[in-house]
Amino acid sequence: MPRPIQARINLSALENNLRVARRAAPSARIMAVIKAGGYGHGLSRVAEALSAADGFALLDIQDAVRLREAGFRQTILLLEGAFNAEDMTIIAQYDLACVIHSAWQIALLDGCPGREKLDVWLKVNSGMNRLGFVPQQAAQAMEQLRRQRAVRGITLMTHFANADEARGIAGPLALFNDFAAPYRITRSLANSAALLRYPETHGDWVRPGIMLYGASPFAEVSAQQLGLQPAMTLRSRIIAVQELHAGDEIGYGALFRAEHAMRVGIVACGYADGYPRHAPNGTPVLVDGQVTQTLGRVSMDMLYADLSKLPQAGVGSTVTLWGEGLPIEDVARAAGTVSYELMCALTARVPVVV
């Protein structure tokens, strides 16, 4: 028997979630965000499943080229744009689109051969203060881009810091709209949270990421309530059982101590598989489809599951770490992180099945 851990990627869940995005933003084109290897689900697998999307957004230029060479004809946007002059040449050659977020990237356009080759997305910093030009500088950047011979089309974009929070998007949206008002060009603002909650942000292109993978962007609304299906299910099995006596401790650091006799299952999944080491006692886990909890410290290759209420469970029992039957958001919340990080953290040693 091979080590029993595996991640199952549900392609029809990806397709379903894309339809949910379309229904929520029927007038916009959909730029499926597939950075970080499709949020850990596998880049080409995800691109295939989401091939009905109007575009793909990612970071790595080699990945973008690979998609082009695999025959994807959609817009392919580089979210951090070019890193050097050679990138610009490849962008033009493969008809990629690139974000322009800083003045140094505009300078790279000077060396770009050819006329009207490049579609650029000018990033406006509407308050997140990560990438982009503040409105006062964006007007000048816009003029510089319009004078560049290599530029074919310009899209205005921004990214919200609080679309999933109570703070919302009103301030940044007003800032962006004030800046964009004089320009009759395409716009892109919305991530998953804005797409689902703020139709006024839809513009010409929406940029959903997390929702396509079947996780909710909101703390207080579940993926199921949004009609989303989990695309990744991480499963393993119990490979050993320990019968504890009152006072026995488990794991590194003895973070759990049994108050009475109980059974714990040893699960073949640890932080080297991508399970969060910081998941505390009580993080939810399914054993044979029943909700129970982790106990003790997660180690590199194993973790502990509480079997005290599951007398039938034992060696060979199926364990779901997240996915179908156990929302990844619930595991993330217990571990003090977000579903995004758990998905991306899945490591190369975990076999993936579809």
Stretch that binds ligand PLP, among 108-116, 176-184, 204-212, 311-319 (CB under 6 A): 204-212
Cβ proximity to ligand PLP, 72 vs 121, nearer residue: 121
The Cα 208–Cα 49 span in angstroms is 15
How far apart CA 297 and CA 278 sit, in angstroms, is 8
The one-letter amino acid at 123: K
Q: Does 228 bind ligand PLP (CB under 6 A)?
A: no
Q: Is 45 helix (H, G, I), strand (E, B) or coil?
A: helix
Cβ proximity to ligand PLP, 34 vs 239, nearer residue: 34
Among 187, 207, 235, 263, binds ligand PLP (CB under 6 A): 207
What are the phi and psi torsion angles at 339 (to 5°)? -55, -35
Q: Are 326 and 304 in contact (CB under 8 A)?
A: no
Among 217, 265, 274, 327, binds ligand PLP (CB under 6 A): 217
Interface segment toward ligand PLP; rule CB under 6 A; list 17-25, 144-152, 203-211, 305-313: 203-211
The one-letter amino acid at 314: G
* Shortest CB 80 distance to ligand PLP, Å: 9
Instruction: Check if 252 is active-site.
Output: yes
Among 10, 17, 192, 229, binds ligand PLP (CB under 6 A): 192
Measured from the CB atom, is 222 or 281 closer to ligand PLP? 222
* List 35, 123, 213, 340, catalytic entry: 35
**With binding defined as CB under 6 A, does residue 223 bind ligand PLP?**
no
* 12, 38 contact by CB (below 8 A): no
Contact region with ligand PLP (CB under 6 A), list: 172-180, 208-216, 238-246, 271-279: 208-216
Q: Does 203 bind ligand PLP (CB under 6 A)?
A: no
Q: Does 208 bind ligand PLP (CB under 6 A)?
A: yes
Contacts of 200 (CB under 8 A, 6+ apart): 173
Choosing from 209, 274, 276, 323, the residue that interacts with ligand PLP (CB under 6 A) is 209
- Angstrom distance (rounded) from CA 338 to CA 331: 9
Give me the 138-167 binding string for ligand PLP, x by CB under 6 A, dash otherwise.
Answer: ---------------------x--------
| Contact call for residues 352 and 9 (beta carbons, < 8 A) | yes
What sign results for the dihedral spanned by CA atoms 270, 275, 279, 285?
negative
Least Å from the CB of residue 198 to ligand PLP: 13
DSSP bridge partners of 241: 265
Distance of CA 36 to the CA centre of its chain: 7
Which residue has its beta carbon closest to ligand PLP?
Answer: 209
Q: Where are the alpha helices (DSSP H) in 61-149?
A: 61-69, 85-93, 103-109, 135-147
Tokens representing 327 are 């929302």
The distance of closest approach from Cβ of residue 33 to ligand PLP in the complex, given in angstroms and rounded to an integer, is 4
Minimum distance from CB of 332 to ligand PLP (Å)? 13
The verdict on whether 309 is a catalytic residue reads no
Contact predicate 215/228, CB 8 Å: yes
Residue that is written with structure tokens 């991640």 in the block = 7
Is the CB of 52 or the CB of 315 nearer to ligand PLP? 52
> Is 328 an interacting residue with respect to ligand PLP (CB under 6 A)?
no
Partnered with residue 9 across adjacent β-strands are 232
CA angle at 48 for the pair 46 and 52, rounded to the nearest 5°: 105
Identify which range of 42-50, 64-72, 205-213, 290-298 contacts ligand PLP by CB under 6 A.
Answer: 205-213
Binding letters toward ligand PLP, positions 13-42, x by CB under 6 A: --------------------x-x-------
The phi-psi region of residue 319 (left if phi > 0; otherwise alpha if psi is between -120 and 50; otherwise beta) is beta
Which residues are part of the catalytic machinery? 35, 252
**Binding site residues, ligand PLP, CB under 6 A:** 33, 35, 79, 159, 191-192, 207-210, 217
